[in-house]
Amino acid sequence: MSWRPYEARPESTVTGTLLQWEGVGDANHAPRTLLAWLPPSYDQEPERRYPVVYFHDGQNVFDAATNPFGAEWEADETLTALAARGVEALAVGLPHGGERRFHEYSTSVNPEWPEEGGGGADASIAFLTDTVKPLVDGSLRTLTDAGHTSLIGSSMGGLISLHGLLTRPDVFGGAGVMSPAFFACPNEAFTRVRRSPTPTGRLWLDIGGQESHDHPERQRAYWDDAHAMRDLLLERGIGGRLRFVAEPEGIHHERAWARRLPGALEFLLGGG
């Protein structure tokens, strides 16, 4: 197996060069198609190496045609625009496991959720560090150190992004934690932040005020928990390495994450 051009559909919305590597899995994760977006200068500067941002929910990141809701993060368009301003990076989209998504991204068991109860985050981070990252670093021109490696995700993907930064600071030096669903794994993230060394990398944390408008209690939990995590991180001394954004009108949707993504990526990549 190897990288090959992305199989675009007539309705695809991909900008730039997107590659795919099929059948990437391990003992705990069914095979899935890994995606890699190359920065505009990749072919013109054959000696250059690039930072890497790993995106959770990879099927929603580059192409609206692969998301059942018909929307995407627009990571390809955003990174193309940032490249014009001198900020370039390689982006990798790691898809979730479908019905196993909650299990793969959750940091603790929650019996209220049906998909195996959760708690698969450590195994998912191991999949990323032991299988996905070596594949990417071994086949593309990446800067492999933690200072040039970030991960990002939304909702449950935000939880596992923070988890990866806290548990594997030797691998990841930055995390984008967008619209995190802290309520899904009660207290786990807060306890871990209290007990872990303060992250030395950059951490983007954001939240919208309309994350769950049909469920007022959950909507309040999204908002309050994100602000409480901001306060805890500042308490722990993260200082200027934290960027917190709260959008009172922000909803739980790819459109909202796409809107905030330019700021998140520029911050994580050291350009903002």
Q: How far apart are CA 26 and CA 55, in angstroms?
A: 18
| Statement: residue 91 has pLDDT above 60 | yes
CATH number, domain of 95, equals: 3.40.50.1820
Q: What is the C-alpha to C-alpha distance for residues 143 and 137, in angstroms, rounded to an integer?
A: 8
pLDDT 10s digits, 224-262: 999 999 999 999 999 999 999 999 999 999 999 999 999
| Rounded Cα–Cα distance for residues 53 and 51 (Å) | 7
Distance CA 198, CA 140 (A): 31
- Amino acid 17: pLDDT: 98
Query: Does residue 197 register a pLDDT over 60?
Result: yes
For residue 157, what pLDDT band results from cuts at 50, 70 and 90? very high
What is the overall mean pLDDT for the chain?
95
Q: Say whether 117 sits in a helix, a strand or coil.
A: coil
Residue 116's pLDDT band, with cuts at 50, 70 and 90, is: low
Question: What tokens does 240 get?
Answer: 């200027």
Residue 115 has pLDDT above 60, yes or no: no
The pLDDT value recorded for residue 272 is 60
- Parallel, antiparallel or unpaired: strands 202-210 and 90-94: unpaired
Q: What is the count of structural domains for the chain?
A: 1
Q: Which domain holds residue 134?
A: 4-268
**Rounded Cα distance, 103 and 110, in Å:** 9
Would the pTM of this model clear 0.85, i.e. be above it? yes
Whole-number pLDDT of residue 70 = 81
**Structure tokens, 18:** 């997107």
Q: What is the mean pLDDT of residues 139-163?
A: 98
Question: What residue has token string 């899904």?
Answer: 184
Q: Which residues contact 137 (CB under 8 A, 6 or more apart)?
A: 144
Which is nearest to 206 in space by CA: 165, 265, 148?
265
